[in-house]
Amino acid sequence: MHSLHNLTIKSFHEGLVKKEFTALEIAQAYLKYIEVRDPEIGAFLSTAKDQAYQQAEQADLAIARGEEVGALAGVPMAIKDNILIKGLPATAASKMLENYTASYDAAVIVELKKAGAVFLGKTNMDEFAMGSSTENSAFKITKNPHDLERVPGGSSGGSAAAVADNMALAALGTDTGGSIRQPASLCGVVGLKPTYGAVSRHGAIAMASSLDQIGPITKTVEDAAILFKALAAKDRHDSTNVRVNYGDELLNPKLEDIKNMTIGLPSEYFIDGLSPEVRKAMDEVIASLKTLGIKFKEITLPHTKHAISCYYIIMPAEVSSNLARYDGIRYGTREHGKNAKNLIDLYKLNKSNGFGAEVQRRLILGTFVLSSGYYDAYYAKAQKVRRLMRQDFDNAFKEVDVILTPVSPTPAFKIGEKTSDPLSMYLSDIFTIPVNMAGVPAISIPAKVEGKLPIGFQLIGKHWREADILGIGQYYERINKI
């Protein structure tokens, strides 16, 4: 088992090509470890043993034939359960989709299959990706591998916990308001939210279409760069997807480019609500990056204070539109409404029993802000403020290349600590939400900290400049030997 703990995508690829092990042996070892360990952590909702072994054998056959294989060939991955893989369950951790099996592959899965990746299974999440702790799943609560009494973050908590506990070499998550970066931070792994449009959303179960983005969760920044490069492919099924030619600079950042950068520190993010541990970690990260020759500058993002208010108008509005389809007739199970006497009855029974409390809360809120007489007062106004937030980033990026902030105000909190207070739960995404509102890329990287609980720092880049944040992250890892 020791070998699993030290593997990265890069070292796995080197070992595979040198024939130190086979992809099948590694896939078997991971699945065996999941059997032993996952009952305690609860990261997976389902595993895909047969499909995984088949995929691993394909990678081994290619190597046996002397073919050149890519960096992701044979890499054992975990996939969040709102991303479709043909023939496997896709529940979005909801009773509404409990019996649904995907009939096609998401665009990102098509790319990963081309690259030869191995899918170990589907990971737990907050229902329909609504939550910050993975406590809203209809099936189980995922625990943080660093402290089983604490949450792994959410909504991609299962994916982050799987990578953090060596049950997968890498994973995919989705990020609507911080759902990749916040769990990555709380679990001590790397999580990248790409620029909106860089990665196709086709085949991801939609939550809020103007905010959702698929991205990698990995052990190292270099691994995140390798995986992101494979995911960023043009897809005709997603009209918001943009073809950007991401070159080798993602994987081979030059130190002279890094040294010429200026990092902005927004005064709105370094506030009184930060826990002492997070503040100390941020100070140490800044000191560490200064040794690379990077300059720092204080900046302001004045509309940050409105981020949560606007997000919790725009996101539920889009949720209410996207989830309207789960009526038990076209989509979703009809199981909960089988005793219905008429159509309205069927809708009510199905939705009341098929959706959990948090999903219902957001559906009601979203329907309200879109309703006649309230649309202009709430939704239209929130969209105007969103434009101002994007302008804040545009203005800041005239002065700096990258922005550094905390990811979460505190390390991982206790399971059950915030479930009775939705607002305090929503506030755990205060530093991640503005990034989704503006559509810019951001990454959560584990800070080098003493103590049991991990803390991540966030690097935010300009649109389509993932190379900047991945480059700084790779050099941070090198100088801290993470």
Which residue numbers are catalytic? 80, 155, 179
**SS3 for 46?**
strand
CA distance 255 to 332: 51
Cis peptide before 155 (omega within 30 of 0): yes
Backbone dihedral region for residue 134 (phi beyond 0: left; psi -120 to 50: alpha; all else: beta): left
Give the DSSP per-residue string, 196-233: TTSS--TTBPPS-TTT--EEEEESSHHHHHHHHHHH--
Q: Partners of 445 in the beta sheet?
A: 457
- With helix as H, strand as E and coil as C, how does 233-271 read? CCCCCCCCCCCCCCCHHHCCCCHHHHHCCEEEEECCCCC
Cβ-contact 444, 380 below 8 angstroms = no
Q: Give the chain's end-to-end CA distance (angstroms, integer).
A: 20
Supply φ then ψ for residue 458, to 5 degrees: -110, 130
Burial of 108 (0-12, 13-18, 19+ CB in 10 A): buried
**SS3 for 443?**
strand
- Kindly calculate the radius of gyration of the chain based on its CA atoms and give it in whole angstroms: 21
Residue 342 tokens, joined = 């008429």
**SS3 for 272?**
coil
CA distance 197 to 383: 19
Q: For residue 114, what are the contacts with CB-CB under 8 A and spacing of at least 6?
A: none
CA 85, 89, 95: angle at the middle one, nearest 5? 135
| Residue ranges with strand state E in 3-117 | 44-47, 76-80
Residue with tokens 């739960």: 425
Residue of 309, 311, 326, 314 whose CA lies nearest to 360: 326
Residue of 98, 49, 89, 174 whose CA lies nearest to 356: 98
